[in-house]
Structure 1
Amino acid sequence: MSTPLAQAETSAPKSSARAKVQAFGGFLTNMVLPNIGAFIAWGIVTALFIPTGWIPNEYMAELVGPTIDYLLPLLLAYTGGRMVGGQRGAVMGSIGAMGLIIGADIPMFLGAMIIGPLGGLLIKKFDSLIEHKIPAGFEMIINNFSIGILGFFLMLLSYTVIGPVIEAANGGVTVAIEALVATGFLPLLSLINEPAKVLFLNNVIDQGIYYPLGLQESVNAGKSIYFTVASNPGPGLGLLLAYTFFGNKIARRTAPGAIVIHFFGGIHELYFPYVLMKPLTILGVIAGGMSGIATFQLFDAGLVAGPSPGSIFAYLALTPRGSFIGIIAGVLVATIVSFIVTSIILKLDRRSDQDDDALNESIEKSKSMKAEGKQAFASEEAAPAKEVSKISFACDAGAGSSALGATTFRKKLSKQNIDGIEVKHYRIEDVPTDSDIIVVHKNLVDRTEMSFKDHEIIAIDNYIGDPKLEDLLDRLKKTNEAS
């Protein structure tokens, strides 16, 4: 059963559209995320052995080209195909990707992220058409030859048509962004990046555009600024520092913990609720993002691969020789600018104390209403509450804020000696259908309801210390004591 907040948000067409874009971004993320280790391995090889690397080695540097041209696109296509069509889809996606790779003069990351799911969809549709129609004893030959024949045509299509179209489109995007670089307007990308991040759309931009462009540039230059334009942890750090010193009471209590997880753990979702609490603070992170990019440009700094997660440790690990000063300066400047702008906004907002009081009153009122509801429930001698055995925390990629929320809530259950409840984290579309409760950020409710309309969905503002999570804990504690 959905929450009233979920029902309210689903009535808005804009929210529904945003949920679809979020789902698309989540799909891209889950194509890239399982293969991040391979990207980092390639980045280390590049940072060490190319002519401008730490220990130039012509023999070892021969690994760079084939890895970025063949291994990485094939992994993306394989994963994308598997997500749509299982193992057979993975094989089809890989076959199609070979046509792209051989027919292109650039690393086909974008193409692989298209052809992989397309191959998976193709074989999935074919299998559904012939389901229950295969004569006994012919299953293996039909299964094998169907992939062989369909894969043959997909390879030809990708080699002659899809590849050239994607290469031309990629060239257009590259020219447009390179024009921004040449004119010095690259910092303007923060006007798109930062609002998109707060709306959980960052994966669409990062994995769909910046990472492919960055990897292409890294082949020749050994580094790329594109890896930094949306992943800089500085703007979020500055915002959280401002809330630590000038936010309301609740923000001052929670922001320091969010700083550690955001800056060192790389989970940027932790600062999104603070922006949503006071939307005007988006100007602070935009200013921080723009100043960070400008600083990276000034020092000609870049990373050798995409930092995932966007932690300062990942930044430093993927910084090539000669870029350390520029990378550190870019993060530091972004932090300072974001802190100053956000602090001014918070100081000028005279409603801070009122908001704090209102929030505290809201929490108390919520608890009071909850207690009244329990009393009414008891007086009516209603049936006992439904036993909860599985709680699923979900987020965009299933590996960041949801993991943090699940771990924290699991520890709270343990402290209360509440056993028998499974608490795990997932990508929204991968949440088990037998989940009793699904916990998501309120901006992801629409997307969650697309797949889990009949489940109980708890929409939260923050994965740490959210009042609704405390209410859920009280509810489970009460049920546990009654049993």
Structure 2
Amino acid sequence: MDVSQTKNWQIKIQKFGGFLSSMVMPNIGAFIAWGIITALFIPTGWIPNEFLNRLVGPTLTYLLPILIGYTGGYNIHGKRGGVAGAIATMGVVIGADVTMLIGGMIMGPLAGWIIKKADKWLEGKCKPGFEMLIDNFSLGIIGGILMILGLWAIEPVFNVILTSLSLGVNWVLARGLIPLASIFVAPAQVLFLNNAINHGIMAPLGVQQVAEYGKSILFLVEGNSGPLVGVMLAYCIFGKGIAKKTAPAASVIVMFGGIAEVYFPYVLMKPILVLAPIFGSMTSLFIFQTFGGGTVAVPSPGSIFAFLMMTPKGSFIVNIAGYFGGLLVSFLIAGFLLKIDKSEPDDEVLAEETTAADLSVNNTLNEMGDITSNTVKRILVACDAGMGSSAMGASLLKSKIKKAMLDISVTNASLNNIPDDVDLIITHKDLLERAKSIVKNPNTQFIGISNFLEAKEYDKIIETLKK
């Protein structure tokens, strides 16, 4: 497989992962609310309460899958797609023996797509004055059919699939093999597949485990930031040049802010360092599994604060031990690799990367013609989830634009939810091709940067806009 084919597969996997996470990420607040209520009020919680414990089951069974179904439909066809997605998801939820998060991920977008096609077919066929009637009845009829179909035919299939997956996970856990997942997860993180793994795979299975056991280790396969912090701390002590100077601030952002994307450039700079989070994560998962660790919901973002808030009663010691155990192992391995590294100083490497980034920006701008503040009125900073690194990058760029006194708005979003009226999209260079394949507006221009928090790259863009 050549480089271009590998890149195409990476983009396809990123797209699929982004598609899944775009249904879960907007609803993380609901998952956290459920996790807090679960941790507090279940019989083994911090303050058991029989009355409030009644919220736990229905929220898990109905609210979370339907929210995901609505969001999936909304992503396809706006509010009408969202309503259709919620109706269709209800069909697979009713009567299911397991939590139908995956059912919502499939039925929501499917219903949104069907109602979108139906609306397109009906367009121009309605007599004036009957539009609202036709819209409501078409949505009701299609939604009702999908609900019946979901309950009658699709729910039993999902039930078998989810039960089989749960049995497979339990088999892996029973044999102590879950730490081996780190071999695949840690490299996938730096390729921007972290949200696909965390919210598309681990979260649905983890929620099912919480319903059975009150906590799940699966939320911590990708959601544990300890090994990532270990790499950053190693850079603080054993790094060189610019990387060492910027590592302390990045460490704080990763550990307390939970923005994992800040850590990616430091590993991509020296790919061998991926060994550190692999073995660090293995250590954490081994401790979690051996001594019964886990959380009641996904710690998102992966901040240590979210990690502790989602820790149930009786698991604090093991969870903290796992977090810092993985951090220590990752720190020692990364520190050793940085110490024995005899390659050129980080300053020179980063200078080359910065020069390459500047050339990339210049070439992009030159290919698309002269860009001025008159033609660029709306800039969007996009990342995979649209909630972490892009938000920080947009904040940084917004501040610089304000100082430059340019009349340009700056927002952030996920790659899957980019509006059509954006003039300029800024994203990570590894996500650039994916962004171009998603955006349909031929007038939208793109710039790929190497680091969402690198001020110099934004300075170059501001300088070009001011010209």
Normalised by the size of structure 1, how large is the TM-score? 0.89
Structure 1 counterpart of 2:123, from 131, 137, 155: 131
- Matching residue of 2:438: 451
Matches within 5 A, 1:69-84: 69-84=61-76
Structure 2 counterpart of 1:400, from 388, 393, 405: 388
- Matching residue of 1:243: 235
The alpha-carbon deviation at position 369 of structure 1 amounts to: 12
The alpha-carbon deviation at position 220 of structure 1 amounts to: 2.6
User: Do 2:354 and 2:457's aligned partners in 1 also have CA atoms closer than 8 Å?
Assistant: no
Q: Which letter does structure 2 place at the counterpart of 1:147?
A: L
Matches within 5 A, 1:238-317: 238-317=230-309
Deviates more, 1:281-290 or 1:243-252: 243-252
Change in Cα spacing, 1:333 to 1:15, as seen in structure 2 (3 Å) is same
Rounded to whole Å, the distance in 2 between the matches of 1:352 and 1:288 is 26
User: Do 1:389 and 1:421's aligned partners in 2 also have CA atoms closer than 8 Å?
Assistant: yes
- Matching residue of 2:331: 339
Q: Is residue 25 from structure 1 mapped to residue 17 from structure 2 by the alignment?
A: yes
Q: Which letter does structure 2 place at the counterpart of 1:450?
A: S
Structure 2 counterpart of 1:470, from 447, 451, 459: 459
Rounded to whole Å, the distance in 1 between the matches of 2:243 and 2:370 is 39
Change in Cα spacing, 1:61 to 1:366, as seen in structure 2 (3 Å) is closer
Structure 1 counterpart of 2:422, from 412, 425, 435: 435
Change in Cα spacing, 1:383 to 1:72, as seen in structure 2 (3 Å) is closer
Change in Cα spacing, 1:131 to 1:234, as seen in structure 2 (3 Å) is same
User: Do 1:64 and 1:219's aligned partners in 2 also have CA atoms closer than 8 Å?
Assistant: no
Q: Which letter does structure 1 place at the counterpart of 2:212?
A: N
Deviations 1:53-99 (A, max 9, x none): 11112222122111111111111111111111222212211111121
Matches within 5 A, 1:376-415: 385=372, 387=374, 388-415=376-403
Rounded to whole Å, the distance in 1 between the matches of 2:159 and 2:307 is 29
Question: In structure 2, the residue corresponding to 1:228 is in which secondary structure?
Answer: helix
Question: In structure 2, the residue corresponding to 1:322 is in which secondary structure?
Answer: coil
Rounded to whole Å, the distance in 2 between the matches of 1:70 and 1:138 is 34
User: Do 1:241 and 1:255's aligned partners in 2 also have CA atoms closer than 8 Å?
Assistant: yes
Rounded to whole Å, the distance in 1 between the matches of 2:450 and 2:58 is 45
Change in Cα spacing, 1:188 to 1:369, as seen in structure 2 (3 Å) is closer
Q: Which letter does structure 1 place at the counterpart of 2:79?
A: Q
Q: Is residue 206 from structure 1 mapped to residue 195 from structure 2 by the alignment?
A: no
The alpha-carbon deviation at position 364 of structure 1 amounts to: 6.6
Question: In structure 1, the residue corresponding to 2:399 is in which secondary structure?
Answer: helix
Structure 2 counterpart of 1:422, from 401, 404, 409: 409
User: Do 1:393 and 1:438's aligned partners in 2 also have CA atoms closer than 8 Å?
Assistant: yes
Rounded to whole Å, the distance in 2 between the matches of 1:366 and 1:93 is 42
Question: In structure 2, the residue corresponding to 1:392 is in which secondary structure?
Answer: strand
Matches within 5 A, 1:50-65: 50-65=42-57
The alpha-carbon deviation at position 407 of structure 1 amounts to: 0.6
User: Do 1:305 and 1:318's aligned partners in 2 also have CA atoms closer than 8 Å?
Assistant: yes
User: Do 1:246 and 1:346's aligned partners in 2 also have CA atoms closer than 8 Å?
Assistant: yes
Change in Cα spacing, 1:363 to 1:155, as seen in structure 2 (3 Å) is closer
Q: Which letter does structure 2 place at the counterpart of 1:266?
A: G
The alpha-carbon deviation at position 13 of structure 1 amounts to: 2.5
User: Do 1:16 and 1:447's aligned partners in 2 also have CA atoms closer than 8 Å?
Assistant: no
- Matching residue of 1:171: 163
Deviations 1:407-434 (A, max 9, x none): 112223334x423121211112333434
Deviates more, 1:140-149 or 1:93-102: 140-149
Change in Cα spacing, 1:367 to 1:64, as seen in structure 2 (3 Å) is closer
- Matching residue of 2:141: 149
User: Do 2:218 and 2:294's aligned partners in 1 also have CA atoms closer than 8 Å?
Assistant: yes
Q: Which letter does structure 1 place at the counterpart of 2:460?
A: D
Q: Which letter does structure 1 place at the counterpart of 2:397?
A: F
Change in Cα spacing, 1:369 to 1:460, as seen in structure 2 (3 Å) is closer
Rounded to whole Å, the distance in 2 between the matches of 1:254 and 1:237 is 13
Deviations 1:201-246 (A, max 9, x none): 1222211221111111112322111111111011110111111222
- Matching residue of 1:215: 207
- Matching residue of 1:36: 28
User: Do 1:346 and 1:352's aligned partners in 2 also have CA atoms closer than 8 Å?
Assistant: no
Deviates more, 1:418-427 or 1:355-364: 355-364
Deviations 1:256-304 (A, max 9, x none): 1111111111110110111111111111111111111111112201111
- Matching residue of 1:6: none
Change in Cα spacing, 1:239 to 1:384, as seen in structure 2 (3 Å) is closer
Q: Which runs of 5+ in 1 are unaligned?
A: 1-9
The alpha-carbon deviation at position 144 of structure 1 amounts to: 2.1
Change in Cα spacing, 1:163 to 1:464, as seen in structure 2 (3 Å) is same
Residue identity (%): 47
- Matching residue of 1:13: 5
Rounded to whole Å, the distance in 2 between the matches of 1:386 and 1:53 is 56
Rounded to whole Å, the distance in 2 between the matches of 1:324 and 1:158 is 40
Runs of 4+ aligned structure 1 residues displaced above 6 Å come to: 364-371
Q: Which letter does structure 2 place at the counterpart of 1:112?
A: G
Rounded to whole Å, the distance in 1 between the matches of 2:102 and 2:310 is 22
User: Do 1:103 and 1:160's aligned partners in 2 also have CA atoms closer than 8 Å?
Assistant: no
Structure 1 counterpart of 2:315, from 299, 323, 334: 323
- Matching residue of 2:351: 360
Structure 2 counterpart of 1:461, from 447, 450, 463: 450
Q: Which letter does structure 1 place at the counterpart of 2:216?
A: S
The alpha-carbon deviation at position 360 of structure 1 amounts to: 3.0
Q: Which runs of 5+ in 2 are unaligned?
A: none
Change in Cα spacing, 1:164 to 1:422, as seen in structure 2 (3 Å) is same
Deviations 1:78-127 (A, max 9, x none): 11111112222122111111211113101111101110111111111111
Rounded to whole Å, the distance in 2 between the matches of 1:298 and 1:451 is 44
Rounded to whole Å, the distance in 1 between the matches of 2:457 and 2:203 is 36
Rounded to whole Å, the distance in 2 between the matches of 1:38 and 1:448 is 28
Count, aligned residues:
459
Question: In structure 2, the residue corresponding to 1:200 is in which secondary structure?
Answer: helix
Deviations 1:139-167 (A, max 9, x none): 23322222222222211211122111112
Rounded to whole Å, the distance in 2 between the matches of 1:133 and 1:451 is 30
Deviations 1:301-334 (A, max 9, x none): 1111111111101011111111111111111011
Rounded to whole Å, the distance in 2 between the matches of 1:248 and 1:184 is 38
